[in-house]
Structure 1
Amino acid sequence: MKVVAFERNLQGTGASRRLRNTGKTPGIVYGASAEPQLIELDHNALWHALKKEAFHSSILDLEVAGKSQQVLLRDVQYHPFRQLVLHVDFQRVDASRKLHTKVPLHYLNQESNPAVKLSGAVISHVFNEIEVECLPAALPEFIELDLAKIEAGQSLHAKDIPLPNGVSLTAHLEAENPVVVSATIPAGAASDAAAEGEGEKPAA
């Protein structure tokens, strides 16, 4: 995705407030052994871009003063109750160095899962994104996890996620291997099933 920004010379609370009053959002670009660069972006264009999943998880082409650089969105500050973006941070990407970032998880075939359809199981998503490390060129926009065969009472852990080539879990996730998704049968559904089973038994 391409993002167009402009150089910003003034900084401080007052300057940022005046900038926002003109429909602009202040931001900063940092990293990759270069000096931090103050920027400003069109607020409305930024607001709409932030609604797209890919804007948060993909490498972006940020153009400032006619020069393009690859960046990741690292932080967004929102107004507590107004639809207003107060500030954005972008981090430059070095093509030769691995980056650590979160990638969205897309769950597939949950509705057609037999445990859901036949046993009344409820599938709970513990994580909607997963932290990975990889070179910039290998960064996936999202990672898919097929739930077609997860059974009632079963959980899938971080290490069960099929990762694309060149992508690995971060060290702490590899060590902790937390539950990512689980399938449980609610107490009400379990007792209903037991009651049905009792009703089917022939009289003594």
Structure 2
Amino acid sequence: MTKFTKIEVSSRAKAGKGAARATRRAGHVPGVIYGGGQEPTLIALDPRIVQRELHKSGWRSRIYDISVEGGASVHALLREIQLHPVSDMPIHVDYQRLAAGHKVHVEVEVRFTGEEVAPGIKRGGVLNIVRHTVDVVVDPANIPEYFTADLSQLDFHDNVRWEDLKGTENVAPVLQDNNFVIANVAPPSVDDDAAEETAEAEA
């Protein structure tokens, strides 16, 4: 079942740089909701909402239930956040309105489990994470919150690939190589082994 993050926003009457500056002077972040075959909706948000979402993992695939004052709620993806070059405060946000049956391109986070029991890592191997996220095409009703990669069985030179991920039902990866590597375990370097042997000999 799709999870929604509910937020409340105000509507803006005017577009343009002057109106956006006025919105910022009033202590809000100007934004727009576009797509879905409808006219863009101009909005203003509390900056604390934007900052809160930025600090959460997986915001690029999170679906927002946006309640716009004076209108019906909208389901949308947060597509772009413009930040001030000096203060890093949000100065504009773009949301894409979702429509059932119209697939969207999203970036889904990969979460890793079992690292602490992976044989290769326990023997001194190094975990190489190739992809922290995966770009996929999916219907809005089936956007996953995250994928799960189980590392618990990995030994030296073993991989976790796309087909090994959990939670990939009903999605298609954008990358044409459908069984690409997500993570692998590399053995310790020769230098590390030699250093360990030297330390043991000296002891």
For normalisation by structure 1, the TM-score amounts to 0.85
Aligned equivalents of 1:183 and 1:54: distance in 2?
A: 24
Deviation at 1:70, TM superposition (A): 0.7
Aligned equivalents of 2:188 and 2:160: distance in 1?
A: 18
Letter in 1 for 2:79: R
For normalisation by structure 2, the TM-score amounts to 0.85
Aligned equivalents of 1:5 and 1:54: distance in 2?
A: 21
* Percent identity over paired residues: 31
Change (3 A) 1:29 1:82: same
Equivalent residue in structure 2 for 1:74, among 72, 76, 79: 79
Q: Residue deviations 1:61-104, cap 9 Å, x none? A: 01112310110111111112314101111001111122221111
Aligned equivalents of 1:182 and 1:108: distance in 2?
A: 13
RMSD (CA atoms): 2.2
Aligned to 1:189: 192
Q: Residue deviations 1:106-161, cap 9 Å, x none? A: 0001122111112x101021211111122222111111110011221223333432
Aligned equivalents of 2:161 and 2:86: distance in 1?
A: 36
Q: What residue ranges of structure 2 are gaps of 5+ in the alignment?
A: none
Provide runs of 4+ in structure 1 moved above 4 Å.
none
Question: How do residues 34-183 of structure 1 correspond to structure 2 at under 5 angstroms?
Answer: 34-65=38-69, 66-118=71-123, 120-170=124-174, 173-175=175-177, 177-183=179-185
Contact 1:158-1:174 at 8 Å conserved across structures = no
Contact 1:5-1:42 at 8 Å conserved across structures = yes
Q: What residue ranges of structure 1 are gaps of 5+ in the alignment?
A: 200-204
Aligned equivalents of 2:149 and 2:156: distance in 1?
A: 17
Matched position secondary structure for 2:39: strand
